[in-house]
Amino acid sequence: MNQISVQELAQRLSSGDTSIQLVDVREPQELDIASIEGFVNLPLSQFTEWGDQVPTLFNPQAETLVLCHHGIRSAQMCQWLIAQGFTNVQNISGGIDAYSVLVDHSIPQY
């Protein structure tokens, strides 16, 4: 599975690239604490509620970046997306925790 660093993520976000799909698999209460603008929230615990909608919500050929707290849940989501036929999926290494430490200190850690 491909990985992208939080520094690379920051560059991609600042470039204004609208072709990338951004998915955050954290829980809503985690988003209340810390979030990055532009990500679609699909909580992994609510998979049964959104799992069948993914092919209509996202383009399987577009670059898809997946975020969680540290990178474990996002890695699971990446594997699932690849199994669904997504061809360009990247796990955000270190998750929002690393983003908060290395890129944007205004994002709270939890």
Model pTM? 0.96
- Mean local confidence (pLDDT), 48-68: 95
Structural domains in the chain (count): 1
Phi–psi pair at 97, nearest 5 degrees: -60, -50
Q: 93 lies in a domain?
A: yes
Query: What CA–CA distance (Å, rounded) separates 99 from 69?
Result: 10
- Domain for residue 57, yes or no? no
| Integer Cα distance of 37 and 67 in angstroms | 12
In this prediction, residue 1 has a pLDDT band, given cuts at 50, 70 and 90, of: confident
Domain containing 9: what range?
Answer: 2-50+66-103
Told to judge if 78 belongs to the known catalytic residues of this protein, a careful annotator would answer no
Q: Is residue 69 pLDDT above 90, yes or no?
A: yes
- Which CATH number is 6's domain given? 3.40.250.10
Among 34, 42, 68, 103, which one carries the catalytic annotation?
68
Residue 109 covered by a domain: no
